[in-house]
Structure 1
Amino acid sequence: MGSANSKTKAASRRARIEEQRRAERARERRNRIITIAVSAAILVGVAGGGWYLVDTANEKEQAKAAPVSGEKTWSKLTQNHVDKDVTYPMTPPAGGDHDPVWQNCNGDVYTSELRDENAVHSMEHGAVWVTYNDKAADADVKALAAKVAKTPYTLMSPYKTQSSPISLTAWGHQLNVTKESDPRVAEFLEKYVQGAQTPEPGAACTGGKSS
């Protein structure tokens, strides 16, 4: 009788142990599956993030390469230094032969008209020349002056004979707008101040003509 009870208890223990082992093996399988799933999710996330960063970088490069809406462009502009007045094919000029001395363009705001040939030299150094005529609103002129004053490689001056109230000109590029609040103003400055169009990147915007 006692022997039978002992056998029954031993069998019960073995069954419990085996059940515990099966449960432990099941937990291990679940943990492996969870680990694999989490690792895969991380890899997908990293890959997705990488593609996102690549796509974002590509979009930025494409934005830099794309022209500003409405701008005019000229290519194959000459770059000779000359000691005479130059007749330019566009107003204000956007490049071409120019004076050996550049106009200071370290955020300089001029209240009198400048000599074209000196301003063109500034644009050769990567400056954006902001000009306006009598049709520009006083508030726009003040806002532009404040913007130019804090932007190196820019200069600003009146230009009575231009057709648009406000013009922004870089080497080979020009944008005409009617108001300073036009979002293309900031876009043009961002794109062309020391932009890829600059014939002499890094050249000075100080130490030139100051009036």
Structure 2
Amino acid sequence: MAKKKTAEERRQRAAELKAQRLKEERRRKILTITGVVTAVVLVVGLIAFLVFMEVRSRSVSNVAEYDVSSYEHVETGQAVDYEQSPPVGGDHWSAWQNCGVYPEPVTPEFAVHSLEHGAVWINYAPDLPEDQVEQLVGMYSAGDYLVISPYEGEMEAPIVASSWGRQITAETADDEMLQRFVRLYERGTDVPEPGASCSGQVAETQAEVATLLSGQGAEGEQGTEGEGGADSEEGAEDQPVEEEE
């Protein structure tokens, strides 16, 4: 009788252990599923947050947009009457302004060609405080498609940034919309010549270019026809303004 009871107890104990093991396995599965779901929710949430921040960082308000109907090459030295000041596009000379920082104004007809290649042209008033100028200069790194220069023409604000067909104004260099504008449109792809170079051509300021062109004219040369005058970029290689030897 005692042996029968012991065997029954062993079976009961085995059943209890099995039930306990199954219970622990279910608990582990629930914890595993909960952990996976939590991780997925966190990852999805992080991705959504990053996407939101990226969209937010590229959301720019107060951007004026313009239709640029003509962007032909005109003879180097022939002034172009632009509708906007500073210009956002239009006819231009066959060479382009090298991207970079300039202490003096640059030639609009060259800078517009840079815009055509996807550059952003940041102009500032000549009397902009030095600390503001330094902040603008700090926005440029080697290889960037940025032209930064003072501008002596009329501007609606102390700082005006232009890309092809677009423009934004700013009172200070740390204006968040200005920063977003540069991030969004520098190396722009919705331009006539996306990916074209922004170096290897004109490094002179507007005053230096005027001197070069004036000197060529004084020698009886026909302007700089060898550099351009083409109606389009096809079939005509852009050449820089060459200094006299």
Q: Offset at 1:160?
A: 1.6
Q: 1:165 to 1:65 in 2, by over 3 A?
A: closer
Q: Offset at 1:22?
A: 1.9
The question of 1:121 aligning with 2:113 is answered yes
Structure 2 SS opposite 1:130: strand
Tell me the alpha carbon deviations over residues 108-158 of structure 1, each in whole angstroms, 9 at most, x when there is no partner.
Answer: 111222111110111111111111113421211122123225561111111
The question of 1:167 aligning with 2:160 is answered yes
Tell me the alpha carbon deviations over residues 2-30 of structure 1, each in whole angstroms, 9 at most, x when there is no partner.
Answer: xxxxx22x133113212321222222221
Q: Offset at 1:206?
A: 0.8
The size of the alignment, in residue pairs, is 201
- The residue aligned with 2:209 is none
- The residue aligned with 2:128 is 136
- The residue aligned with 2:182 is 189
Q: Offset at 1:64?
A: 6.8
The question of 1:32 aligning with 2:54 is answered no
Tell me, yes or no, if the aligned pair for 1:94 and 1:120 is still in contact at 8 Å.
yes
The question of 1:97 aligning with 2:91 is answered yes
Taking the aligned partners of 1:176 and 1:88, their CA distance within structure 2 comes to: 18
Q: What amino acid is the match of 1:203?
A: A
Taking the aligned partners of 1:171 and 1:47, their CA distance within structure 2 comes to: 42
Q: Offset at 1:209?
A: 0.7
Tell me, yes or no, if the aligned pair for 2:123 and 2:161 is still in contact at 8 Å.
yes
TM-score scaled by length of structure 2: 0.72
Identity of aligned residues (%): 28
Tell me the alpha carbon deviations over residues 175-198 of structure 1, each in whole angstroms, 9 at most, x when there is no partner.
Answer: 111111222232122111113434
Q: 1:172 to 1:60 in 2, by over 3 A?
A: farther
Structure 1 SS opposite 2:198: coil
- The residue aligned with 1:22 is 15
Point out the structure with max Rg over C-alpha: 1
Q: 1:94 to 1:25 in 2, by over 3 A?
A: same
Moved over 6 A (4+): none
- The residue aligned with 1:3 is none
- The residue aligned with 2:45 is 52
Unmatched runs of 5 consecutive residues or more in structure 2: 205-245
Taking the aligned partners of 2:54 and 2:68, their CA distance within structure 1 comes to: 24
The question of 1:155 aligning with 2:137 is answered no
Tell me, yes or no, if the aligned pair for 1:136 and 1:179 is still in contact at 8 Å.
no
Tell me the alpha carbon deviations over residues 49-87 of structure 1, each in whole angstroms, 9 at most, x when there is no partner.
Answer: 453355346435644764x12221123443322223222
Structure 1 SS opposite 2:138: helix
- The residue aligned with 1:177 is 170
Q: Offset at 1:95?
A: 1.2
The structure with more helix, counted as a fraction of residues: 1
Q: 1:76 to 1:39 in 2, by over 3 A?
A: farther
